[in-house]
Amino acid sequence: MKTAIVILNWNGKQLLEQFLPSIVNFSLHQADIYVADNASTDDSIAFVKTFFPSVKIIENPKNGGYAKGYNDALQAVDADVYCLINSDVEVTENWLPPILEVFKTDENTAIIQPKILDYKDKTKFEYAGAGGGFIDLYGYPYCRGRVFNHLEKDTHQFNDITDIFWASGACFFIRSNVYHKIKGFDEDYFAHQEEIDLCWRVQNIGFTIKYVGTSTVYHVGGATLQETNPHKTYLNFRNSLLNVVKNVPKKWFLFVVFSRLILDGIAGLKFIIELRPVHTWAILKAHLSFYKNFYKFLKKRKTLIKKQDYNLHTSIVWQYFVLGRTKFKNLQ
């Protein structure tokens, strides 16, 4: 099974210096390694060419974000399986074989995510992906090992192999034929939650997504956009709403859309109370962009193949903020 590890880079020389060695040391004899550069203005490419001549380089003509960056780069990559991995991820020895084995033995699995732990505290799960992603009835994403900002300690409770709803874009394996069949990422997302949309579409055509907890990586998180950055708040709220319009099953559609508008308004009030009005403004801008793009995404919805319904948890907001349930095992 021909595998390609593709690292998307934008002005990330320091991250490549820190994290590329682990990928090369633990992957080179099992996969081709690429750095896909999004028109960086630092000397990232010169660094890779000088110190890692075995790593192939793809130079995108502009910074199109995560979605377009990968869509453009993967046109030039010949492989059966793509591993899309952030430049701030440290991999571990023997991280690839458990994942490739699942691909070999289960033809219906199209996407796989490894266990993602926090590079800054390796005893805990990391925000972006943790023990595999899920989504609630209102389109809010969460993970095994991470519900909102609550991170569980890794006590090997998620060392399993199981179906999940979405895999984190921080470290994301996908069969190349499936990726191209659904035409890759939706470039209107630019960054954040485009992997959730892609996973949703992959399931709609009948494939499954798995978490393989016998493979571990460590993710810094927030290396490109810090959690406190209002632009990240904007992208997360806007793209989550776009996911709802594009993918939520018909029987829930109107109820979920109107409920989300109310719940996001409550989140905006919460930011004001916390004296973080810049994030309230980011949510408002997200909604303005959502209204502007509503009909465009409604048209996209009509082109999607709907083959599956989903057994989703009810409101994760209610369970976390009202009932105080912070661990995945306690959710209903």
**Would you list the domain boundaries of the chain?**
3-219, 230-330
Which residue, among 234, 242, 238, 235, has the nearest Cα to 296 in the 3D structure?
Answer: 242
Helix (H) or strand (E) holding 321: none
More confident position, 227 or 255: 255
The answer to whether the beta carbons of residues 50 and 138 sit under 8 Å apart is no
Which CATH number applies to 3-219: 3.30.450.20, 3.20.20.70, 3.90.550.10, 3.20.20.140? Answer: 3.90.550.10
Q: How far apart are CA 332 and CA 319, in angstroms?
A: 8
Of 148-162, 182-196, 312-326, the range with the lowest mean pLDDT is 312-326
Average pLDDT over residues 251-276: 85
Average pLDDT over residues 134-163: 92
Q: How far apart are CA 107 and CA 176, in angstroms?
A: 13
Average pLDDT over residues 128-135: 94
**What is the percent of the chain with per-residue pLDDT over 90, rounded to a whole number?**
64
Of 227-231, 237-241, 323-327, the range with the lowest mean pLDDT is 227-231
Q: Which tens digit of pLDDT belongs to each residue from 238-255? A: 888 888 888 877 777 788
Checking 223-231 for CB contacts under 8 A at 24+ apart, the result is: 223/12, 223/15, 223/86, 223/87, 223/88, 224/10, 224/12, 224/88, 224/191, 225/191, 227/127, 230/278, 230/279, 230/281, 230/282, 231/282
Average pLDDT over residues 100-128: 97
Q: Which tens digit of pLDDT belongs to each residue from 35-52? A: 999 999 999 999 999 999
Q: Can you give the pTM of this predicted structure? A: 0.89
Per-residue confidence band for 57, with pLDDT thresholds at 50, 70 and 90: very high
The pLDDT of residue 111: 98
The pLDDT of residue 155: 97
Q: How far apart are CA 235 and CA 225, in angstroms?
A: 11
